[in-house]
Amino acid sequence: MKRTLALMVAVLTALVTATSLPTSAAAAAPTVHEGVIDGARFWVTVPENWTGEVFLYSHGHYAPNAEVPPVTSGYPLVEQKLLSEGYALAASAYRTKGWAVEDGLRDQIALLDWIGANLRRPTRVYAWGLSMGGLTSILLAERNPGRFAGVLSACGPDGGSVPFWNQWLDMGFVVRTLLDPGLQLTGIQDPAANNARALATLRAATTSPQGLARIALANAMTDVPAWFGGPRPSTLEDELFHEAVYAIGMYRDNTWGATRVEVEQRSGGNPSWNVGVDYGRLLARSSMRPLVERAYAAAGLDLDADLAALAAAPRIAPDPAAAFDLARDGTPLGATRTPVVTLHTTEDGLTGAEQTGWYAKQVSRFGNPRNLRQLWIDRANHCRWSQAEMTVAIDALTDRVHSGRWPDTAPATLNAEATAYGPDWHRMLDYYVGAPVTVTPSFVDHRPTPMLRPFPF
C-alpha cells in the first residue's frame, strides 16, 4: 500500500467533526451583526448594497465538544462574491451541537424573524448548507412554505436522519460479528474505550487480506466507494486500502463513540435497527459487491460462510419512541415547492450519492420534479469541491429563482463557467493528499444506484 493508515488517520482530524471549512474573509464594507437568540449564537453580514435577499447557511454536524466557528458561508471567495452582488449572509450556530437538525429548524427560523424585526423583511431567502446542514435546508423549506425562495443542499444526507444512522449500525454490525464480538453498537457505556477498541480491531484487520476483505464487506452494506481521494485507485490492493481509510478515518465516533451516544441521548434511546435486514440481499444490491467478491477470492475466504454468520447473529431492535423522534425531525418528504439544487460528489463515503438519488424519487412522488436540479462532481469524499464549483451551483439556483427558468446545467456548461474563475477559486483540501490541491472543474452526468435501506420506503 502506498500510504500508511496511521498517516491517513492523522490527516482526517478535521473531517471527524464533519464539515469545518475556512473562516469567512472580510467583504467590502459590510455591517456584521452578532447576537444570541434562545441560547443560539448568530451572525448576519449585510452589504451596503443589500437587495433584501438573504442566504441562510445551515452548518454541518459538530461533535458535542467542538466549537462552531462564526461562518455565514464557509467559503470566503463565494462569500465575497455574494456580498458584492447584494446578498446578505446569515447563520445560526444552533443552541446545541451534535445531530442538531431539530434545533437548526427552530433556530434558523428564529434568526429570520430577528432579521425581519431588526433589519428589514427579506425579499427572498435561500436556504443552503453542507452535510447535515444540507438536510436541514431541505427541511426548512418543506416545513415553512412561503418563507424560502430556493434551496441548495450540498453533500447532504438527503435520504433523512434514519437511514443515515442505520448505515453506521449496519457497518458496525458486520465488524462486530466478523471481527470483534465485544464491541458495543448501542447503549455504549464508555464511548472513548469502545471507540479505541474498534479502531484497534480495524487496524489489526488491515494487516491481513482476510481482515481487509471483511472491512470491504462491512462498507458494502452502505455502498461506501473504494475511492477516498487523490487519483482513483486501479488495483485491488489500493481499493481495499481506500476502504480501510474510510472505516478507520471517517466512521469512528458515528459508529463506536461519543457521536453515537449523543444521538441516542438526543432521541431518548436507540433510534436504529436491523431487525429483518438480510445482509446477503443488501450485498446482492450493493454497487460494491464485485469488489467484495474479488477481495474474498484473493483472501481465500468463504463469503457465503460470513453471510451465514451475519444471518445468524441476533438483531438489534430500536426504541420505538426514539426512532419516531429521529424520523419526525429528519425525514424529507420531497414536497418542497421552491427550486432545489443538490450538489454531491459521485464517490461520497459519508453521505452517499444514493441518498440524494432517493430524494429525487421522493420529489417525483410527492413534489414537482421540474423544481429539482441535481449536480454531480466526479470526485471522491465528502463535500470535496472547489469554490468555483460551489459558486456555479449557487448561480444555477439564483438564476432559476430570478428568471423562473432553469439555466443550462449540462456538465460541459457548468465546467466552462467554473473554469472562468481565477486560480484561487480552484483550490480544495484533499484529505488523501493531506493538503490543498488545485482541481479541474469536474461536473458530470451521474445516476446513483438505489439506496440500500431507505426510510420510510
Please give the Cα distance from 286 to 243 (Å, whole number). 15
Judged against a pLDDT cut of 80, whether residue 11 lies above it is answered with no
Please give the Cα distance from 211 to 229 (Å, whole number). 22
The residue type found at 383 is C
pLDDT tens sequence across 87-98 = 999 999 999 999
- Residue in 87, 78, 31, 25 with CA at minimum distance from that of residue 56: 87
pLDDT category of residue 28 using cuts at 50, 70 and 90: low
pLDDT tens sequence across 289-340 = 999 999 999 999 999 999 999 999 999 999 999 999 999 999 999 998 999 9
The sheet with strand 88-92 has its strands ordered as 31-37, 40-46, 88-92, 53-58, 124-130, 150-154, 340-347, 372-380, 443-444
pLDDT tens sequence across 193-252 = 999 999 999 999 999 999 999 999 999 999 999 999 999 999 999 999 999 999 998 888
| 96 Cβ contact partners less than 8 Å away, ≥ 6 residues apart | 103, 266
At residue 430, the pLDDT reads 92
Please give the Cα distance from 435 to 433 (Å, whole number). 6
Total residue length of the chain = 457
Containing 337, the helix (H) or strand (E) segment is none
Residue 168, φ and ψ in degrees, nearest 5:
-70, -35
Q: Which three cell numbers stand for residue 192?
A: 472513548
Q: What is the DSSP letter of 249?
A: I
For residue 225, the SS3 value is coil
- Could you write out the DSSP letters of every residue in 377-432? EEEESTT---HHHHHHHHHHHHHHHHHSS-----HHHHHHHHHTS-GGGGEEEETT
Q: What is the DSSP letter of 276?
A: T
* CATH number 3.40.50.1820 given to 15-160+333-444: yes
State pTM to two decimals. Answer: 0.93
Judged against a pLDDT cut of 50, whether residue 22 lies above it is answered with no
Q: What is the DSSP letter of 185?
A: S
pLDDT category of residue 29 using cuts at 50, 70 and 90: confident
Residues of the chain with CATH 3.40.50.1820: 15-160+333-444
Judged against a pLDDT cut of 90, whether residue 14 lies above it is answered with no
- Calculate mean pLDDT across residues 171-196: 98
| 16 Cβ contact partners less than 8 Å away, ≥ 6 residues apart | 63, 249, 250, 252, 253
Number of Cβ atoms within 10 Å of the Cβ of 160 = 28
Asked if 300 contacts 332 with a C-beta cutoff of 8 angstroms, the reply is no
Percent of the chain with pLDDT over 70: 94
| 161 Cβ contact partners less than 8 Å away, ≥ 6 residues apart | 99, 101, 135, 326, 327, 329, 330, 331
Query: Measuring CA to CA, how many Å separate 352 from each of 164, 247, 302, 386?
Result: 9, 14, 28, 19
Please give the Cα distance from 147 to 54 (Å, whole number). 11
Asked if 17 contacts 64 with a C-beta cutoff of 8 angstroms, the reply is no
Judged against a pLDDT cut of 90, whether residue 107 lies above it is answered with yes
Percent of the chain with pLDDT over 90: 89
Asked if 59 contacts 71 with a C-beta cutoff of 8 angstroms, the reply is yes
For residue 210, the SS3 value is helix
pLDDT tens sequence across 343-361 = 999 999 999 999 999 999 9
- Residue in 441, 390, 434, 401 with CA at minimum distance from that of residue 76: 390
| 190 Cβ contact partners less than 8 Å away, ≥ 6 residues apart | none
pLDDT category of residue 432 using cuts at 50, 70 and 90: confident
At residue 27, the pLDDT reads 42
pLDDT tens sequence across 41-92 = 999 999 999 999 999 999 999 988 889 998 888 899 999 999 999 999 999 9
pLDDT tens sequence across 1-10 = 444 554 444 4
pLDDT tens sequence across 387-414 = 999 999 999 999 999 999 999 999 999 9
Judged against a pLDDT cut of 50, whether residue 17 lies above it is answered with no
